[in-house]
Structure 1
Amino acid sequence: MPVSLTIDPDGVAHLTLDRPEKRNALDNAMVASLQAQIDFLAHRDDVRLVVVRGTGGTFCAGADIADWATPSNATAAKQSISGNRAFDALAALPQPSIAVLEGTTVGGGLELAMACDLRVAADNAVIGLPELGLGNLPSWGGTARIVAVAGLGVARHLLLSGELITGTRAAELHLVTTSSTTGMLDDAIAAVVNRLLAAEPQAVALAKANLATFDQRLPAEDAMAAYTAGLDSSRQRKQDFLDRKAAAKAARTNPTNAPEATTRVQS
């Protein structure tokens, strides 16, 4: 499955995004797989804690742009609702959750991380909301969660500027719980896991239920995301993005055919 699940003897569930060839970008199948695994965890009394991580040294490069390049408004709204439901279900789990941010954590990937209770980041992780540059709005609840966690000023900056920040800077802005060097990341995760496991499980579940009463959502988020996804300018920006990725991949595969003056675009 594109999202795998294992449960260790300590009752720690490991949800792993497993699409490394796409930097764990979330396509429709992956969102559905995530929803199924979260629904399963919601009924497991033996699970104390959930750790969400990506394979291939990266967390999640966001929504798969191929799914958002040319959708109808109805399809875009459906995709927004599906992602919202999955992320809301993750946030509503009775068990606390930790997102491990390394490599790329942008767009829908950051929204996924914000649906977790805590975030541990590598200091060199790349974090941000670049959606406006592609003519889209975040649509999976992340904007409101960033406001709740780090404040309106941080949300404004990330969304309006599209700046990609490091894990170190994200910790300074309280967007993530802590940051660590890559070599010490597993130790930092273990320290947070051990603190959470030391708490009484029923008290943790009740604390989460109490905190959930403060959750807020942006009105009409799905409708606005569907509207922007259908704009001609938005579709063109996303197609240009896909074309640049295809050209970069072709240049890596057959560099002798790449124009000398072409700037290498990171995929």
Structure 2
Amino acid sequence: MPVLLDVDPRGRATLTLDRYAKRNSLDQAMLESFGEALGAVENDPAVRCVVLRGSNGFFCAGADISDWADPGPDRADRLSRLGTATFARLAALGVPTIALIERSALGGGLELALACDLRVTTEDAALGYPEARLGNLTAWGGIARLVDTVGQAHARRLFLTATPISGAEAARIGLVTEAVAADRLEAAAEELVEAVIACDPLALRVVKDTLAGYATRVPAEPAFAAFFSLSDASRERKQAFFQRKPTTK
């Protein structure tokens, strides 16, 4: 399975993206497997918190670009809806969720991390939204969640320049809960797990529901069918990415 689930005796559920050969990028199979793992968590009353991580010291490079190379409007719309629904389900879990970010969280990988309640990263990790540079759009609720997390000014910088920032900078602007040295990452995540498990689970559920009421509504963003029907330049950018040649579009 592309997403592995393990629950320890304390009620810590660990979800691991297990597609390292593709830098744990998210294709349709990965999203579907993630949905199945979320279903298991939702139906397990013993789960007290969820830690989300990638395999082999790499969080998530984003959406699998091969799925978006030239998907056509119908497939693009299906992928958009699948990812949006899956991430909304993660955000709505009744227990606290913690993203453990190593190496990078880019594009859809950062959207995935933003669907979690808490994020811990290494200081040298790369976080950002490179979609505009590749002729893609942010597909899975990332616009609303980023604005909710860091505000308009920082969100515009990340989206409109398509330039990643470091984990240390992400902590400075509030994109992540904490940035630590690589050898401290596991310990920092475990400290959050212990703090969460020490709390009353019903109280945490009520707090999560209350906070959700203040969040920006995540739309079925944006109009992918029209975008992929009309944007020849975006297709050229994606083909240039696959062929690793420069583009002037």
Q: TM-score range by the shorter chain?
A: over 0.9
Tell me what 2:70 maps to: 70
- Equivalent residue for 1:91? 91
**C-alpha separation between the residues in 1 aligned to 2:226 and 2:239?**
17
What amino acid maps onto 1:190 in structure 2? E
Question: What is the correspondence of 1:180-195 to structure 2 with a 5 Å cutoff?
Answer: 180-195=180-195
**Percent identity, aligned pairs only?**
46
Gap regions ≥5 residues in structure 2: none
Name the residue aligned to 1:38.
Answer: 38
Aligned to 1:136: 136
Q: Where do residues 152-191 of structure 1 align in structure 2 (5 Å cutoff)?
A: 152-191=152-191
Judge conservation of contact 1:68–1:229 (CA < 8 Å) in 2: no
Structure-1 residue corresponding to 2:198? 198
Q: Name the amino acid aligned to 2:28.
A: N
**85-94 or 142-151: bigger deviation:** 142-151
TM-score (norm 1): 0.89
Distance 1:229 1:121, change over 3 A: farther
Q: CA deviation at 1:123?
A: 0.5
Is the CA contact 1:135–1:228 (under 8 Å) kept in the aligned structure 2?
Answer: no
- In the alignment, structure 1 residue 125 sits paired with structure 2 residue 125: yes
Residues 154-208 of structure 1, C-alpha deviation per residue, up to 9 Å, x if partnerless? Answer: 1101000111111000000100000000011111111111111111011111111
2:226 is matched with 227
Q: Flag structure 1 segments of 5+ consecutive residues without an equivalent.
A: 248-262
- Residue 9 of structure 1: aligned partner: 9
Runs of 4+ in 1 over 4 A off after TM superposition: none
Determine the C-alpha separation between the residues in 2 that align with 1:232 and 1:209.
Answer: 42
- Partner-residue secondary structure (3-state), 1:116: coil
* Higher mean C-alpha displacement, 34-43 vs 18-27: 34-43
In structure 2, what is the Cα distance between the partners aligned to 1:53 and 1:226? 31
Q: Tell me which amino acid in the other structure corresponds to 2:103.
A: G
Residues 191/51 of structure 1: CA separation in 2 closer, same or farther (3 Å cut): same
Q: Residue 60 of structure 1 corresponds to which residue in structure 2?
A: 60
CA contact (8 A) 2:6 2:15 kept: yes
State the aligned residue count. 245
Q: Which has the larger radius of gyration?
A: 1
> Given the alignment of the two structures, is residue 213 of structure 1 paired with residue 223 of structure 2, yes or no?
no
Distance 1:240 1:22 in 2: 19
Report what 2:115 is aligned to. Answer: 115
SS at match of 1:13: strand
1:222 offset after TM fit, Å? 3.6
Post-superposition Cα deviations, 1:22-45, rounded to whole Å, max 9, x if no partner, equal 100000000111111112211211
1:26 aligned partner, one-letter code: L
Shift, 1:215, TM fit: 2.4
Give the distance between the partners of 2:97 and 2:130, measured in 1 at CA: 25
Shift of 1:47: 0.1
Post-superposition shift, 1:220? Answer: 5.3
Shift of residue 228 of structure 1? 2.9
Q: Is the 8 A contact 1:87 1:115 kept in 2?
A: yes
In structure 1, distance between residues paired with 2:5 and 2:21: 19
- Describe the superposition over 1:124-160 as per-residue Cα deviations: whole angstroms up to 9, x where unpaired: 1111000001111101001110111111111101000
Secondary structure at the residue paired with 1:38?
A: helix
**What SS does structure 2 have at the residue aligned with 1:16?**
strand
Contact 2:26-2:63 at 8 Å conserved across structures: yes
**Is the Cα–Cα contact under 8 Å of residues 69 and 238 in structure 1 kept in the other structure?**
yes
Determine the C-alpha separation between the residues in 1 that align with 2:179 and 2:173. Answer: 11
Q: CA separation of 1:183/1:220 partners in 2, compared to 1, >3 Å: closer, same or farther?
A: closer
